[in-house]
A and B are shown apart, each in its own frame.
Chain A
Amino acid sequence: MEAVAALERDTELMLRVRDGDETSFALLLERHRRPVVHFLYRMVPNQAVSEELAQEVFLRVYRSRASYEPTAKFTTWLFRIATHLALNWIRDNKKEKNQESLNEELIEGAERQVSDGRPTVEARMLNESRLEEVRKAIDALPGKQRAAVVMHKFEDLEYTQIARALSCSESAVKSLLFRAYESLRARLAHMA
């Protein structure tokens, strides 16, 4: 019930944005900023790029406010835009992003650990090593499989929503997820 009310609220807010209410756009931004940035971060593991893409998502939402029609759930529409941008970025930056993003996150992780005084160097290195394994495993997935897993695992989207975001059938989404999780099970089995 609460989820349904939230979805209806999103539609109501977006309709108000269509009618020129800027405050409603700010409320939508407040509600969806974090999930969109986090989704994009898991698709293109680089904080700066993920925020840049997330801003593009909201910019496109704002730009198309005049023609908004509630034909789908607002979150579905939002993640459809985000997925499209992420897949395009992955396609355009295939070679460079892997090394740059992993190096950046290792450095950021080390800085975070030093600043908050975690106990042992070994524990920090082990933690970073595990995170790197997870990132590499996700990064190795083809774009659509990656998007399906991130939306399914981290954003709790239903199969129908994921299907609309990826412009495919629900059956195709399940196939994407089965293949993706099969790959992840193979790569991450040693982390049990």
Chain B
Amino acid sequence: MICLANHREGLEILLDYSSGALDPSRRREVDLHAQNCAECRRLVEAQCTVYSALDEWRAPEVSADFDQRLYARIAADKPSFWQKWLPVVPIVWWKPVVPVALAAVVLSVLFVTRSSNPGPAQHQSGIGKADIEQVEQALDDMDLLAPATPTPSSVM
């Protein structure tokens, strides 16, 4: 005879038996087994004692003002800026933003660097012409960002 108390499945059966959760046919099987197995009988008796003791432990009723206090907390709970906006923007939108932002930063640095060292002709010809040349220079620099090795003259 295999003692139910000595393995997991048997323990689970005995716990369910003790709480009355077993179906009638299964219950009869355990009844028959327990008649011949002292260890299982002891475990069932002890487990029934535990269940009865736990049943005596009543929780107090919920306070009458529970809901009122909860709704006050809800009213006072304002989302932070990030909580408000992040869930609205799907995470997939963020993926291309980082490399684009990085490229924009690099371009801006190059643009500012070039524009801070203008040639004499650019100073004399006015802002508009200098802007166009700076843009052209920035576009040339963009080409240098491609995998091809840049020439020494283009390196800042």
Taking Cβ atoms with an 8 Å cutoff, the residues of A that contact B are 29, 33-34, 37-38, 41-42, 47, 51, 54-55, 58-59, 62-63, 66-67, 108, 127, 130-131, 133-135, 137-138, 153-154, 174, 177-178, 181, 184-185, 188-189, 191-192
Contact = CB atoms under 8 A, between A and B. Distances in A.
Interface of B: 8, 11-12, 15, 19, 43, 45-47, 49-54, 56-57, 59-60, 62-63, 66-67, 69-70, 73-74, 77, 79, 87
A37 B79 CA distance: 25
Contacts of B51: 153
Interface majority SS (helix, strand, loop, mixed), chain B = helix
B11 A59 contact: no
A9 B79 CA distance: 28
Contact of B15 (A58, A181, A189): A181
A61 B120 CA distance: 67
A32 B12 CA distance: 28
Interface majority SS (helix, strand, loop, mixed), chain A = helix
A37 B49 contact: no
B63 A51 contact: yes
A130 B62 contact: no
